[in-house]
Each structure stands twice: as structure tokens, then as C-alpha cells.
Copies of this chain bind each other. A is one copy, B any other.
Amino acid sequence: MQPHVDVLTLGVRDLEVSRRFYLDGLKWAATLDVASEVVFIQVGHGLLLALYDIEKLEAEADADYQSGAVPPISLGHNVHSEEEVDAVLAQAGTAGGSIIAPGRKMSWGGYSGYFADPDGFRWEVVYNPGLIVDADGTVRIGSAA
């Protein structure tokens, strides 16, 4: 098994609410939008985010989700400055997201804040001066402190 993730599927409680947040609020474009079924959004080089009904995902992945639980993941969205972190958080708030933590200096030397989408999925908006992506897509990461 080679180390790659190609699709990140979020189990969502109301696909219409998620569509409004991601497509109308954040102005992201759908790669494929199947009404009442699934929305795919490209979020990287060869990478798709999928919004999919949580009950269908539960059945398909044979998982017992506990409604109301906040998913134990976070989606990192890297930007290029502290000011851009603050600006993206503000935009997410305007789009209907909840600001969970404002931008602040982190112990590892960067600056980040969190917002939540309509299902509580945490997005961390990050300025990490120690993370470099080479032209071929290779990521180098070290202590920024």
C-alpha cells in the first residue's frame, strides 16, 4: 500500500447545509455535484473532498457514529502569513462557520486558529514558516521555533 490519500469523505448531517457552507459560503467549486447524494470538491493536487450523508457513510463503512460527537480530526489549511490566517478565519465566519479559536502564536513557532463547519469538523488555518512544499510536491517540515 503506497502512502497516498486521494479522497477525504466527511459524513455530514445535512448535505444541503454543507453545500451552502462550502459552495455558496466559501465559494468553492464542485468537481461533481449529485443532488441529494454527494458533492466532490477538489482540495489539492489529485485530492478530492467529498461531502456525503453521514447515515449512508455509516452503512457503507459499517461504522457506529455517535450523533453529536465532534469528529476527532482536523483539516489543516496552510496560508502564507499571520494576517492571512486572521483573514481566512473572518471569511469562514462570514460564510457561516463558527470561530473556535482566533489566530494566536503556537508553541511550535507558527500561528493558527480554528473554525468549525456546520457539522463541527475543525479546520485549522495555519501559518507555518517551517513547512516548505517543493515544486514536485514534496513536503519538508521542521521545527519553526
Interface size class of A (residues with CB under 8 A): 35 or more
Q: Quick check: is A57 within 8 A (CB to CB) of the other chain? A: yes
Task: State which of B1, B73, B92, B131 has its C-beta within 8 Å of the C-beta of A8.
Answer: B73
Question: Contacts A46-B44, A122-B63 given: A91-B8 contact, CB under 8 Å?
Answer: no
Report yes or no: A41 in contact with B3, Cβ–Cβ below 8 A.
yes
Contact A141 B31 (CB under 8 A): yes
- Interface residue from B4, B57, B140 paired with A72 (Cβ < 8 Å): B57
Counting every copy of the chain, the complex holds: 2
Interface residues of A in 34-69 (CB under 8 A from B): 40-50, 54, 57-58, 60-66, 68-69
Is there contact, CB below 8 Å, between A9 and B76? yes
- Listed by A's residue number, 28 A-B pairs whose Cβ atoms lie within 8 Å are A1-B91, A1-B95, A1-B125, A3-B42, A4-B78, A5-B43, A5-B76, A6-B44, A6-B76, A6-B78, A8-B73, A9-B76, A31-B140, A32-B142, A44-B47, A45-B137, A46-B133, A50-B76, A58-B72, A60-B101, A62-B101, A63-B70, A63-B72, A63-B120, A64-B69, A65-B72, A66-B66, A73-B73
What is the interface of chain A, defined by CB distance below 8 A to chain B? Answer: 1, 3-11, 26, 28-29, 31-32, 40-50, 54, 57-58, 60-66, 68-78, 88, 91-92, 95, 100-101, 114, 119-120, 122, 124-126, 131, 133, 136-142
